Amino acid sequence: MSTGNGDAVRVTLRDFQERKERREKLVVVTAYDSLFGKLVDESGVDAVLVGDSVGNLLAGYDTTLPVTLDQMVYHARATRAGVKRALLIVDMPFLTYQVSPQRALLNCGRVMAEGGADAVKLEGASDSVLAAVRAVTGAGIPVMGHLGFTPQSVNTLGGTRVQARDDIGARKIVEDAKKLEAAGAFSIVLELVPAKVAANVTKAVRIPTIGIGAGAQCSGQVLVLHDLLGLNDGFNPKFLKRYASMAAEVRDAVSRFAEDVRDGNYPDDDHSF
């Protein structure tokens, strides 16, 4: 649904909570710049996530670990320029919030002040992360949690794989979700979690859950824009449904441009001054 964003009402944290209570699904999509931010915002999503997946997609990193705070502030500010209606959530990169609550507060504050974020996202539910969530939310900065497969812990988790497959893991993720809620998180991303486990988490907390590879019972869903558009066509996880095949269209368009240039067909009289 295309809504336009010129005079649309901004999405708020209260909207997130009320939509879970009304059992209305939330829609979250990533963006990393003003143009895609604008297009996604105008498509009627509830939130735009400036993910640290920017490192994989735009910088060519193998993991999200090398992404810096400066990079996230830059991409947040660029995306903010295009997003006028949806909630803008920004990932906090590796080691910007785990070291101490004070460091977390300063870094999250920078993302809000310089990046123009409406909220930040922190991965995990360790004691240090929970302390960071409490400090940051205590200062009035909204925090989205992230459980299941947490990309910043990829080395500890032994690669990209489904989490909470056994009873111990399933119980722990429910407990961690409750801890994040108690610490002040307004929502939780559940990534690569069995559908039944994600459903149990969603029932166990009052705040919305946003799934990615976590089944249909979450309060909403998130996908990476480049994945759903088929731009990142080498990425083929089970959970991904592509809604376009833009990588092929890009290759074809650039190839036709190159052919026109080499054949002397571009620019022609219609495209010259």
**CA distance readout (Å), 36 to 51, 79, 110, 194, 196:** 13, 8, 23, 31, 33
Task: Give me the residues paired with residue 247 across strands.
Answer: none
9 or 38, greater pLDDT: 38
Task: Classify 88 in phi/psi space as left (phi over 0), alpha (psi -120 to 50) or beta.
Answer: beta
Quick check: 145 and 177 in contact, CB under 8 A? yes
Quote the longest CA-to-CA distance of the chain.
70
pLDDT at 158: 87
Cα separation of 181 and 175, whole Å?
Answer: 10
User: Residue 151's pLDDT is what?
Assistant: 95
Residue 2 pLDDT: 41
CATH architecture label of 13-242: Alpha-Beta Barrel (3.20)
C-alpha–C-alpha distance, residues 242 and 40, integer Å: 15
Beta strands in the chain (DSSP E): 26-30, 47-50, 87-91, 119-121, 143-148, 187-191, 209-212, 220-223
The average pLDDT across 205-227 equals 98
- Tens digits of residue pLDDT in 184-199: 999 999 999 999 999 9
Place of tokens 């089944």: 215
The model's confidence at residue 93, banded by pLDDT at 50, 70 and 90, is very high
Whether 175 is catalytic is no
Is residue 8 scored above 80 in pLDDT?
no
Q: Please tell me whether the overall predicted TM-score, pTM, comes out greater than 0.85 for this model.
A: yes
Res 1: pLDDT: 40
Residue 236, SS3 per DSSP: coil
pLDDT per residue as tens digits for the range 12-68: 999 999 999 999 999 999 999 999 999 999 999 999 999 999 999 999 999 999 999
Task: List Cα–Cα distances, 228 to 18, 29, 181, in angstroms.
Answer: 27, 9, 29
List pLDDT tens digits, range 127-173: 999 999 999 999 999 999 999 999 999 999 989 999 999 999 999 99
DSSP string, 147-194: EES-GGGHHHHTSS-----SHHHHHHHHHHHHHHHHHT-SEEEEES--
Question: Over the stretch 95-134, which tens digit does the pLDDT of each residue have?
Answer: 999 999 999 999 999 999 999 999 999 999 999 999 999 9
What integer pLDDT is reported at residue 224 of this predicted model?
A: 98
Query: What does the H/E/C string look like for 184-210?
Result: CCCEEEEECCCHHHHHHHHHHCCCCEE
**Domain-wise residue ranges, the chain:** 13-242, 246-273
Catalytic residue among 42, 123, 181, 191: 191
